[in-house]
Amino acid sequence: LYVQATGQAAKSARTVVICGVPDGLLHDDIMADILMIHFQKSKNNGGDVEEVVYPTREKGVAYVTFEDKEVVESVVKKDEHQLEDKRLSRRYLLKVTRYCDNVFSSVTAVLNVSVFQDHFVLEDLIQELKRKSTALSFGPLQSNGHISVQGSFPAMQLLRDFLLLKAKSLSEKDKREERKSHERPKPRLQQHRLTAKMKNSVHDADGEKHMVVLDTDIYHYMKSFSPRTLLMSDDVVISDVTDGDVTTVYIESGGSGSDAGQVLRVKEKIEQQSLKLHNTLRKERIYFEEHVRNEKQRYKWACESLKPRYPHVLIIPYDTHIDVIGNSSQVFEFTKEV
């Protein structure tokens, strides 16, 4: 995990974002080849190119990764990049910025596996989770059944889905055992403990209650720029609980006459939007200089004054820093101007 993370960070440092690529004029492979030639030329302050990613999710945007990170500095410093090639009818002005490597790559959550203690040796369960989730880093198992987990948000969601499936299979096993044990003088309350805990925290069948676990920054961005996704109505009620990097969104029926399927549709819509934002958003952090008087107010004023020019950038102020969230090129330009 450390090697992978280090390698990704090193690659980000060797990557630039190219905006203004002429879209739809040539085949994508040809345009990628033209971009590679442009950024390998010494007259463009270029160097050996390792990879060109084009097309991307953003129209007219490409990513160019150099073999040497020193080339990034020289390429960005060049006053003007004009893309020209005999296969193009004219020159096209490109905008080149550094790739923002502070991405939504890691969140930390505390996992409570104590609900499984009647069915598993918890240490063995953790070893199984580690084998299943090699992209995650696990802390020591605490005596209360809590364990800290760190890694990418998608990997965290896969871990959660795996645990829910395991809980569901145990619940079904308990039901089968109960049907086979009619001669027992009294029901075993312990075997229902796991089912009750998982059901209450994930899905209440009577009240049609579901939950979605999101990256907190992505949740803030969704609330600001996709409010319809989280729109409440008489039929569906949405609430949230934030715990550091993670926000849990609860979706439940608003009344007895509401459509049960609507709760699930809202849940799926939130999940799809979250995945889309996770793949496109980047984050930069501007730290305040403690020794400078009124530094916090000055930075906030600068951010607010620039905001109209960057309508899709989210600014989240904290006591020690400001988080800037948006697509890679806009986040970099915004932070540079601040």
**pLDDT of 162-192, one tens digit each?**
888 888 777 666 666 666 655 444 433 333 3
Query: Given this model, what pLDDT does residue 2 score?
Result: 33
Contacts made by residues 318-323, CB under 8 angstroms, sequence distance 24+: 320/287, 320/288, 321/285, 321/286, 321/287, 321/288, 322/285, 322/286, 322/288, 323/217, 323/283, 323/284, 323/285, 323/286
Please tell me the predicted confidence (pLDDT) of residue 175. Answer: 60
In whole angstroms, how large is the CA radius of gyration of the chain?
25
Tokens of 259: 């459509």
- Who has greater pLDDT, 101 or 319? 319
Q: Tokens representing 74?
A: 């020289």
Amino acid at 89: S
pLDDT of residue 206: 45
Q: Chain centroid to CA 223: how far?
A: 15
DSSP 123-162: HHHHHHHHHH-TTSEE-PPPTTSEEEEEE-HHHHHHHHHH
Residue 193 exposed, middle or buried by CB count within 10 Å (0-12, 13-18, 19+): middle
Least confident of 16-25, 166-175, 208-217: 166-175
Strand (E) or helix (H) holding 210: strand 210-215
pLDDT of residue 229: 79
Q: How many CA atoms lie within 13 A of 199 on its CB side?
A: 14
d(CA 267, CA 52): 36
pTM: 0.54
- Amino acid letter, 124: D
Instruction: Using the predicted structure, report yes or no on whether residue 32 has a pLDDT greater than 90.
Output: yes
Contact 64, 52 (CB under 8 A): yes
Mean pLDDT of the chain: 79
pLDDT of residue 274: 85
pLDDT bin (cut points 50, 70, 90) of residue 329 is confident
Asked if residue 10 has pLDDT above 80, the reply is no
What SS3 state is found at 313? coil
Question: What is the C-alpha separation between 210 and 208, in angstroms, rounded?
Answer: 7
Q: Are 136 and 151 in contact (CB under 8 A)?
A: yes
Match 């879209």 to its residue by tokens.
23
Q: Does the pLDDT at position 232 exceed 70? A: no
Where residue 153 falls among pLDDT bands split at 50, 70, 90?
confident
